[in-house]
Structure 1
Amino acid sequence: MQVSASDVPELTRSLAAALDGGAAVWPVPEAGLPGSPIDVDDRVALVVETSGSTDAPKRVLLSADALTASADATHDALGSTGQWLLALPGHYIAGAQVIVRGLVAGTPTVALPSGAFDPAAFAEASARMLDHVPHYTSLVPTQLARLLDAAERDAFVGAALRSFDAVLVGGQALAPAIADRADAAGVRIVRTYGSSETAGGCVYDGRPIGDTRIRFVDGRIELSGSSLADGYLDDPARTAAAFIAERGTRWYRTGDLGELDEATGRLRVRGRADDVMISGGVKVVLGEVERAVRRLDGFDTAVVVAVPDAEWGERAVVVVPGGVGDEASDLARLREVTDASGLGPAARPVRLVVAEPWPVLASGKPDRRAITTLAADA
């Protein structure tokens, strides 16, 4: 049945029933939708729609076993169960999984009011959490950055952020500058990697949690484990393309390129497999360019996209929110940092575009398709 994600008590009750063998739940952002049946296998507990930041949205089918395995793996990785604060939309996996973790832990989930993220509301909600259990929350990098900004002006926000035993940060790459600020502020962050198809984060700080396994096929990350989804709703072709079985093991073929860091053995995500441009005959992974650019002060939210170029075929363009960059003074710095990262001339940004307003999805992630269109038209 469809449940409004903004109605957290009802969504929580529906998810509890689904985990116990009841009807599957499909959280939707719109309020007031009538409950309707979903024609899915009895083992499915949750239907969650992907954000569609780089591809057409998909409706992912997750079993109660997968959701519970993910929640248990998270608590094992963090050291214990605890109480969770919901700061993300409940119709995306990161938000729904916060509720599931609370149900598995047997603690009431505290939720922020619906609407735009507000650091003051986050601090007020954290003050309502139980005293005798660990406190956890899950954020996207933009939310963490806003909390750190607010903490510099308001000691109450800073104390609230530090009160969490762990702050999971995922959904997109975390800029080193934001991670450094969090560390300096005494905030314990855990970088997560995963997707709706893995019931949320399944790699924490570069290491798999639970029984998750990682492998690489032609540079692309593939994942296996108990938290894998059953597939996609009414889309057998996509299901067959994304989920494969080999020698009794199911693997999910992500859309990301990656490798294991030789020094640490941790997973390093290089970028999206579909975000590889050919510039002057040279393959350039835009995620690596973006990672280099984000090392510059003030560019921790920058997005790098490819645009057509008559001479090179494609060139990289850096797009930032309004008030961040000035092309005349900053483009040279952007080129210097990409050169210093060893990415080569083909990776040098050709333009800096300032976007106002900043295109984002409901999940808080940058809307890369809209940003690419904006960059191409600039």
Structure 2
Amino acid sequence: MQFRDLKKQYQVLKKDIDAAMMDVAASSAYIMGKPVKELETELAEYVGVKRCITCANGTEALTLALKVWNIGSGDAVFVPDFTFFASAEVISLEGATPVFVDVEKETFNISVSDLEKKIAAVKAEGKLTPKVIIAVDLFGLPANYIELRKTADRHKLLILEDGAQGFGGYIGEQKACSFGDISATSFFPAKPLGCYGDGGAVFMNNDDWATLAESFRVHGKGSFKYDNVRIGMNSRLDTLQAGILKVKFKAFKEYELEDINKAAAKYTAKLQGHVITPVIPEGFYCSWAQYTIRLANKEQRDGLQAVLKEQGIPSMVYYPTPMHGQTAYQNVGDKYGVCPNTIELCETVLSLPIHPYITDEDIDTVCNLISQQ
């Protein structure tokens, strides 16, 4: 059993993916070739924003947004304590200070009530200037942008949507990667829409910001390649990855997103009463980067993971350590307040195999084993 079966996906899409790769090879336009611009247009149209700018990976997509906003020393950026390291790492790389915010246990996403507390704490201290909220669409579920936008507007903060896991999700009729003032996603292979290497993109409606992002991603270029008007970075999406993504994006829209939601629904129906299953608020739609259950305590979680491993069933703990507990952030820690929900989740979450090609038999095998514990 595969945790996320990329081999099966390739077998299904092999003819079209092979043709796309061969087309790129024959074109010799390996960097920023025609498929890159075509992909950007398709992605922007799907998400419902004016501009999509691809880049080398999801981490640099977040970095591009912070550079566009000139975030740096003395700035406070609020970020969930329960997330992948990159969500906070990019803040520090720009010289700003991450402020870790607790999450809601039911959705795993940033807590608006704790965010208000952390903003107040930073303002009371008076050393940092609050600038940005990074909201992470964890495990495929969009954060609560309805309430987040109210908080952001009240405190005059920008929202950076980290949609690395959220692409394909939505709230009402609005799709993930359109909720932020700038939104970012990742095309890492295991993401809901993944390529065969690294890749990422930023989304926005502001043309001036888009122009800056395009400059930053290619060494700070100005009117042409050798006119460098600012210090930038080398963060272009390879044409080969764009060609692969165009094929996979078609499958994603046509059936993969629907099929993975069917798989998640089967898990939930079979596991209710045995473990704590994921909560999808009314009006929200999840793209299921992960299907994450909760156990009563660390001992139960670790015990279940060991039993699954014995039976050849892969599972993962996302994430075992809070951001404030990372060695790299020992000087920041929880100085602006503790995050008890995050601490509890790190000890109780477990992600199960899920992907658009998972069979009912595999789901039954996993659920039957869990229900017997």
Query: TM-score of the superposition, structure 2-length normalised?
Result: 0.38
Q: Which has the higher strand share?
A: 1
Report which of the two has the higher share of helix.
2
Q: TM-score, with normalisation over the residues of structure 1?
A: 0.37
Greater relative CO, 1 or 2 (CA 8 Å, sep 6+): 2
